[in-house]
Every structure is written in C-alpha cells, then in structure tokens.
Chains A and B, each alone.
Chain A
Amino acid sequence: MTARSSRSAKTISIAAMVSFSLVAAACGSDSDSSSSDEAPAATEAPAEDEAPAATEAPAEDEAPAEDEAPADTEAPAEDETEAVPTQGGTLRYGLEADVNGINPASSSLSSPGLMMANAVFDTLAAFTPDGTVVPYLAESVTPNETFDVWTVKLREGVTFHDGTPLNAEAVQVNFETQRNDPLVGLAVRPFFPAEGAIEILDDLTIQFNLIAGEGNAYLAGVFAGQLGMVASPTWLAATLEDPTLNQAPVGTGPFLFDSRSEDSITKFVRNDDWWGGDVYLDAVEFLPVTDPDTRNELLFNGEINALQTTNPASVGDLQDDDSIQNFIDENGEESFAMINTSVPPFDDIRAREALAQATPLQNYRDLIGLGIASDANQGFTEDSKYYNPDVVQQGDNPDRALELVAEYCAEKGTDINTVLGESAATCTDGKINIELQWSGPSVVQTRIAEILDEGWDNAGFNVTFDELPQDEHILQTAFAQYNVNTWRQFGATDPSGDNVWLLCRSISGISLNWPRLCDEERDALLLAAQLETDEAVRIGQYQELAQKVNDAFTYIFFTHTIWDNAFGEEVRGVCDRTNADGEPLLCATSGRTWFDSVYIAS
C-alpha cells in the first residue's frame, strides 16, 4: 500500500470516527455546527440498539416507544390509519451535519449518516416500539441456549440495487469488512474469536459465533443497528479501491442513491422493486444545515419538510408550533464532561472528584438544558427500568472541591501534566492546571466552556481552553491527549450495547474506553449482565454498575440528550412501519426516522 492509500484509509477511518463523534456531539446540546464534541454515539459496535433478543419484555429504553412517536403526533390525519397514502412527492430533510460517506461497514455513522443509511439499507432485524427485536430483512434470528451462537436465516429473492443477490455470502462479506476496518472493527473484534466467527450453513443461512463462554443475550439488537445493515458486496469491494464511492451507497432499501450535489444535497429515489412492499415517496433529499436556528426557520417556512435537532432551544420552539409534528426521543445519550485518567492530575481520584464538585451543574442545566433536556446523573433515564435512584451526580460544591484541590496539590503538585506541556506542573499557586478541550467553532460549545470555567476557576482550577476542529478533537481524545472534554455517550437501546466504552479490553493505542479507566470488577459485571436473562438480577447488576461509574468520577453528567424529529403537517405515515409479518416497528430513535411508510398528503 502506498503511503497515500494507507494514509487515506487511516484518514477515512479516523474521519469516520470523528464524524461519528461529531455526530454524537452534534447531537449534543445545541448542535451548532458539525462540531460540538461529544462522543461517538455508540459506535454501533455491540451496537447502538440492543434489545433482548427473543424473549425479554419490552424495555422502555427504546426511545420513541413510550415517549413520543404516535402519541406526540398532533396532525389529526396522522391518527387515521385508514387514510390512503398518496403516491409521489419529495421529502426534504434537514440534517445536523454533512455526511461524507455512507458505508455501514467502514464509516462510523452519526445520526445524519444513519438517517441516510435508513433510506438505502435494510437491517437484518428491527426494534418494535416496546423494545423487542423482530426479524426484518432476515426471516429469523435465533440464538442457542448459551447465547454465543446466533443463526440468521435470510429472506429469499431479495437483490441489491445493483442486481447482486442477497445471500449468506453477502452477509459474510459485510461482517468481514466491518471487522477488518480499522475503526469499525474496534467495536467488533473484542467480541468475536479470530477464527470461525462466521459459518455459512446454506445459501440463505449464516451463523455468528461469539467468543465461547461470552454469550450476549441481547445481540439481536446489534442486527437492528448499523452493524446489521447489509450492503452490496460488489459495492463494498469497490469502495476499498475507491473510497469516493462511499458517497454512492448500494443496499437493499426502499430508496436508491441518485445524486449528490455540490452543496452536499444527497438525493435518493424510490426503489420500485423493494422487497418490503410499496414505497410512496418519489424521492428523499437530505440537506445538511449546521446552524440549528436556520434549520428551524427552513421548516417553519416550508422550505424543508422535516428536520432532526438536539438543540433544546430549537426543540422548545418546534414544540410550541402547532403545525409541526414532533417525535421526541429522550432515551438516547447523555451529555457530560469526560475525564482522562491516564494523565496527571486526573490519574488521582481526588482531583477528579474535585473537578466534579467544582462543576456548576445547576447553571449548566438551566442555561443549556433549558428545562427541555432533562437532568442526568447516570446513563439511564428515570423511566428506565435499570435506573438507580440512589446515584447522585456530585457537583455544585466548591468548598469540597477546594478541600480536595488543597489535598492533591500538597501531595502531588509537582507531577507533570503532559497535556499542557513537557514541563507543566499540575499545580500552580495552589490551583490545579488543566485543559478543557472541545470541538468547534461552535457558539454553544463555547458557551458551555465558559459556564464550566466560571465554576471551575472559582473552585481551585486554572483552566486553559483548547478548541479544535472536530477531527482533531476526536483523534486527540482517542489517543488520550486531553485532561477533560465535553462529550456524549451511552445511547444504546440495550445497556450491553454501551459495553465497549467501559471495558478494559477497549484500551490500547486508540481507546474507545475514552477515560481509559480499567476496572476488572466492572468488566466482570458488564459481561455477566450481557448474558443475564433474569430481569430482576439484571436490574441489580446495572444499578450496581451505575454506582460504580459514579464512584469512579470519570464522567460528570449534565443532561439527557433530547432528540426531536420534526415534520411539517403534510408529512404522513412516519410511524406506520411494519415488518413482513405485520409487526409495527420503532419509527424514530436518536434523531433518525425511516422512510418506507412515509407519504406526503396532497
């Protein structure tokens, strides 16, 4: 491989990771521009959405499920399932950020990317509104008793947009491509054995073998997320040669890629031969509008029909408008400050606790959350069955912070904070020197930094600002070249999907365990919980986990991310999705919706 292609590969994967994070970030408080740091929303790895495979009762956590979707729809006609869908029309969708490539096997897709992917790709399985997983592109998804062997039977007679047939081999190519990708692979490799992860049983049946003994009762959820999207193997092979093809995806979905204009407007047109039935829209157009205010204006003016946003102020405005249908999801990620434990001063838990205590939580929540994004103290919302009511996010306690700072500086004030420089001491004049990093330029992120600094500066910290372009920010975080940054994470539908951010095995040169905290006990809990089918026990395990995370002071939780997919009143059918057996499916989650059942009323 020449330097150029190897660099490009790395750059792409890193850029992917970045855009992933970005998206995650963008999803965060006030996605101003495709900046807003934040963490990569569940890198799909063990996935984004994991719901109890076969059995489990509906977990509430599947966003739209309870909290919004059908219930939230104001448009009267929406509720009439008798209404006859009209054929035709183009849906114009405003996205938070631009997407450079839509390849589920090699791009870390953020919310805008996943949305576009929803038009072109189908997933092997899908979530229902109550959080169970049912087959979708696949005919069946069956685990063995120990949940470490999963058998997927595909549907017959499905072809990709380029004519390649859908078969077990195609799925294998997808899996291998994912696993070999430097970035996406990070989320796949820890869970599968090096040899024998895939077995093809017949033309339409494929078997996934996890690492023996490390079963995952909730793996089906993975098949409902990015890693379950099946792309044409012919196209996948072509993208390895020519990465620019990532912009022209080929899948089995209800829409085909049509064109991408100069200003990143991506257009998809109806796939008349879609296996899943009738598709009503003529085309879907995606338009990146990084400024949330502008995005709202466009919807109010009718220049676009739909948008996604996580900016609390924008969400408030959309909810106030009666002509807009809002699909809210609050069960996704959380926004927090994230601390790197591998570099002084934060290798010492006293310094970490000091930072937490010094944080002006109430101010952040009032000014940024605006009462619209609810307060968070752990990775679960209060509605979640796994919620631990005893966990309290420490903060707003400058006196305690000052005590801890004094203690730390007295003992370790001469350690070197390598993030600030080769000879930068951790303490100067009794204050701890740290660097706050975020991705910009972003008005909201800058506001957040200033709010945090106001609290931290008055309680024992000297804060240096470091605003970086997204890509760099994410890279530096992955390589642990930060003290504290602002991030978003923990959006998996099933909590086992968030394992990759916490496990010891994720730590290496690049670490998806961003704070690089390795706790063997915690690891054991995580692996046990992913296998546990007894709800009561599982709840106990995750509650214990939430407390452990809280005790480690690696995250300072602010708010739950609130996603709003807003539609003009002419848009119908957003939540009429079903699978081949007629099961209604989840229609809006973490800022993305699907398009197979959507139509525009005339």
Chain B
Amino acid sequence: MSAATDDIAETRGAASETVKANAEGAAVKRTLGIGFWIALIWLGIVFFAAAFAPWLPFKDPDANYIQRGERPPYPPSMAHPFGTDQDARDILARTAFGGRVSLTVGLVAIAMGMFFGGLMGILAGYFRGWWDRIFSFIFIILLSFPSLVLAILITSLLERSLRTISLTLGILTIAPVGRVARATTISFTEREFVLAARTLGAKNGRIIIRELLPNVVIPMSALALLGMGVAVVAEAGLAFLGLSVEKGPTWGKVILTGAGSRDLQKYPWIAIIPIVVLFFTVLALNFAGDRIRSYFDAKETAL
C-alpha cells in the first residue's frame, strides 16, 4: 500500500477524534475513560495470575483429578471453579498457567516488534532514501504473507518450543509496528522543532533519541497493545492447528480440548470459559490501545 494512503488514513484517524469533540457540541476534555481503567484492571488480574501461577493456590494444571465412580468432565464446582476438562484437569489452573505461555508470547512479540520494527521504522522515516527503500521492502514482504501461514510454516519446520513460537510471532509484529513508526517519524520530522534542532546543529542521533523517540513511542505503544492481542490470538490459532507449544497448557490448547462438536454440546464450559477469558483479555488490550491512541492523538492535534 502506498505511503500516501497510509498518511491520509492516519490523519483522518486523528481528525476524527477532534471532530468527535465538535460533533458533541462542545470541547470535551479527553480522558482515558472508565472503560480504560476497567480494561487495565482485568489485564492486571490476568497478568498477575499468570505471572505468579506457580505460587498461587491453583491446582496442578496437568494432573488428572479423577473422582473414581464419576466420569469426567466435571462441571464448575467448589473444588474446580472453572470445572475440569474430559481428562479431569482443572480448567482454572490450566487457564492461569496457559496465560503464562500466551502472555509471554504476546510480550515477546511486541517487544520484538517495538524494538526491531521501531528501529527500522524510525531509521527509514528519518533518513529516507536507501534506508527507506530497504526497510519498506522488508515490511512489505512480511506483510504479504498471510501471517498465519508464515507462522505455521516456521513452527512446523522448527521445534515447537515457547522460544520458536514467540520469535515467529515477534517477526510478524515487526512490519505493522515498523510502518507506524515510519509514518509517525515522517510526520514529525517535518515539524518545526526538528528543523529547529537541526539548524541549531544537533546531530542526527541526538535528534532521533531526544526529539523523535518519545513522540514515536506513543503511537507505537498503542499499536503494540493491539499487536499483543493479535499475537495471543495467533497463538490460539496455532494451537488449534496443533502447532503450539509442545508441552503444557496454552489458551489455544485449552480451547481446542473442548471444541469438538460433541464436547461442545454436552460440556460447553470446557471451551467456552477459556474463550471468554481470551476474549476479554484481547478486548481489554484492544480497548486500552485504542484509548491511548485517541488520547494522545487528541493532545497532538490540540497543539
């Protein structure tokens, strides 16, 4: 897609927010909103449960808690708040421990995206010329693969470890983040304060780090949150195709366990509960990312 259409879309996006303010008839002070904080609380809970899962009072996610005489799966109860799956494994524990994998994958993905994508995007946007040609070309190649196909290709050829999957999804995050970084850098580079800095004789490196970076990081972060949601969903997709991490629960694997027609009909909680957790997490990430973007966009155009 041409850069021009990118830029126009970006500007339109920004304009919409200020326009919204006008449509409401009065200049509304932009806040992050209550929804943002709810989303943040949910994310906090999920991250906390995932990060400290081994020390929290969850059951063993792989153990089979069979009650002889009563065939699993067991519906939600005091002993198993989310119920168990067909192999009598506690779903709450599997969701918590599964979160460790899914969220790690998401975090690594955006870290890679922001670092490499950001680096390539800023360099491309600031220096233009050959930097731009090469990096943009790389971005386009990465974007031309349907991402899931690329992910499947790589994970099937290499071992199915947490590392491989995180790196693969990380590679896929580079291009989207990079492009935003590039577009934002371009629009900022033409601003007066950068020109001013240049005239004052500041070296490129200094300009990049002190002037551009702080400003570019923000839209990148918003996108990164969205990207994390995408990575988590992508892992679920891979798990559904049987290509996620070899051992241990992940959200995708937990969903897959309950997704057969028969199991879905008779024991819906096995798939539906993890789907709900996944859904709210992605929703929270998307929402938070979106709020951040519009908050900072509005501030920008207010300049």
Contacts and interface: CB of A to CB of B under 8 A. Distances in A.
A443 B63 CA distance: 18
Q: Which of A440, A454, A465 has the most CB of B within 10 A?
A: A454
Nearest to B262: A293
A324 B222 CA distance: 57
Nearest to B64: A363
A140 B71 CA distance: 51
A107 interface: no
Interface string A421-464: 00000000000000000001101001100110110000000001
A454 B63 contact: yes
Given A371-B71, A441-B241, A446-B242, A314 B64 contact: no
Contacts of A212: none
A363 B242 contact: no
Contacts of A292: 262
B76 interface: no
B261 A467 contact: no
A446 B256 CA distance: 11
Nearest to A311: B262
Given A293-B261, A363-B64, A370 B247 contact: no
B87 interface: yes
A291 B72 contact: no
Interface string B78-93: 0000000011100000
Contacts of A366: 66, 68, 71
A293 B271 CA distance: 16
B13 interface: no
A370 B71 contact: yes
Contact of B86 (A297, A371, A447, A467): A447
Interface in A331-383: 360, 363, 366-367, 370-371
A447 B86 CA distance: 9
A443 B71 CA distance: 19
B257 interface: yes
Given A443-B256, A465-B247, A367 B87 contact: yes
B246 interface: yes
B260 interface: yes
A441 B72 CA distance: 23
A430 B90 CA distance: 30
Interface in B30-87: 62-64, 66, 68, 71-72, 86-87
B88 to A, nearest CB: 7
Contacts, number: 50
A296 B66 CA distance: 27
Interface string B135-156: 0000000000000000000000
A236 interface: no
A317 B261 CA distance: 13
Nearest to A371: B71
B87 A450 contact: yes
A367 to B, nearest CB: 5
Contacts of B66: 363, 366-367
A526 to B, nearest CB: 38
A60 to B, nearest CB: 29
B262 A296 contact: yes
A294 interface: yes
B68 A314 contact: no
Contact of A454 (B62, B72, B241, B257): B62
A467 B242 contact: yes
A447 B87 contact: yes
Contact of B260 (A291, A317, A367): A291
A458 to B, nearest CB: 9
A293 B267 CA distance: 13
Interface of B: 62-64, 66, 68, 71-72, 86-88, 241-242, 246-247, 256-257, 260-263
Given A297-B261, A367-B64, A454-B63, 7 more contacts: A294-B261, A296-B262, A363-B66, A366-B66, A446-B242, A454-B62, A467-B242
25 contacts: A293-B261, A293-B262, A293-B263, A294-B261, A297-B261, A313-B262, A317-B262, A363-B64, A366-B71, A367-B64, A367-B87, A367-B88, A371-B71, A440-B242, A441-B242, A443-B256, A443-B257, A446-B242, A447-B87, A450-B87, A451-B87, A453-B247, A454-B62, A454-B64, A467-B242
Rank and list the top 5 A-B pairs by shortest CB-CB distance, nearest first: A441-B242, A293-B262, A293-B261, A293-B260, A465-B246
